[in-house]
Homo-oligomer: A and B are copies of this chain.
Amino acid sequence: MHSENYPSRLLAEAVEQFSKLPGIGERSALRMALFLLRQKKEEALAFGTALNNLVEHVVFCKICHNLSDTEICSICSSKKRNKTILCIVENVRDVISIENTHQFNGLYHILGGIISPMEGIGPNDLEIESLIRRVHSEKINEVIFALSATMEGDTTNYYIYKKIKSYVDKISVIARGVSFGDELEYTDEITLGRSIVQRTLFENSSSQ
């Protein structure tokens, strides 16, 4: 379809916006825009408003870099979490995945990615300096690596391991319940939960 044939400029603009979303073609985008128009007006307006609220007001937690509505996220500020265990993850989706297993009660540190020379992502592009500062200043008994089971994940684990090993007693890596090459966020909750419970000392992990 060609946007010049849309009967309404407003429709064309909404379709264009929906088309920008990952995995959404112009035809699906049109369906979405027309779907919105079939909703009750106040419900349909709540859609755009929720998106703009998200974009305007969400922040990154100053401690762990998780998405948050407040300066310090609900996990970092919770009194029920064990603040001596730190789980290192790539992104927000991984935090959500691990939280859904209900198997982890410590804190997180979100790197914002993993070291990937192919994509030009080096240690300085990630929240590694701030992780090292946390390990220096907070009383951390254990650091758990929960990065994707890929070559890049292993590289990142090892890079961070060398930087923090003298400051942390125990450095572990989540059990490899998933085949090498799989991405963390597509792992089912049972496998992922088990892999946290059965985490092994980093020095003993097979890839070292």
A36 touches B55 (CB 8 A): yes
Residue A118 is within 8 A (CB to CB) of chain B in the complex: no
B67 near A11 with CB under 8 A, answer yes
Tell me the residues in window 18-48 of chain A with beta carbons closer than 8 Å to chain B beta carbons.
20-23, 28, 30-37, 41, 44-48
Please name 6 pairs of A and B residues whose Cβ atoms are closer than 8 Å in the assembled complex, sorted by A.
A6-B96, A10-B50, A21-B35, A37-B55, A41-B55, A44-B51
Q: Which residues of B contact A51 (CB under 8 A)?
A: 14, 17, 33, 36, 44, 47-48, 51
Residues of B within 8 A of A61 (CB): 7
The interface size bin for chain A is: 35 or more
User: Whole-angstrom distance between the alpha carbons of A13 and B49 in the complex?
Assistant: 10
**What number of copies of this chain does the assembly contain?**
2
A8: chain B residues within 8 A (beta carbon): 58, 67-69, 73
Is A57 part of the binding interface, using a Cβ–Cβ cutoff of 8 Å?
Answer: yes
| Interface contact A50-B92, CB-CB below 8 Å | no
Whether the pair B10, A22 counts as a contact (CB closer than 8 A) is: no
Q: Roughly how many angstroms separate A73 CA and B5 CA in the complex, as a whole number?
A: 12
Scan residues 42-95 of chain A and give those whose CB is less than 8 A from a CB of chain B: 44-58, 61, 66-69, 73-75, 91-93, 95
Whether A33 contacts B54 by the Cβ 8 Å rule is yes
Residues of chain B with a CB closer than 8 A to A6's CB: 96
Q: How far is the CA of A45 from the CA of B50 in the complex (A)?
A: 11
Structural contact, A92 and B7, CB atoms closer than 8 A:
yes
C-alpha gap A93/B58 in the complex (Å): 36
User: Does B50 lie within 8 Å of A55, measured CB to CB?
Assistant: no
Given contacts A23-B28, A37-B67, contact A47 B5 (CB under 8 A): no
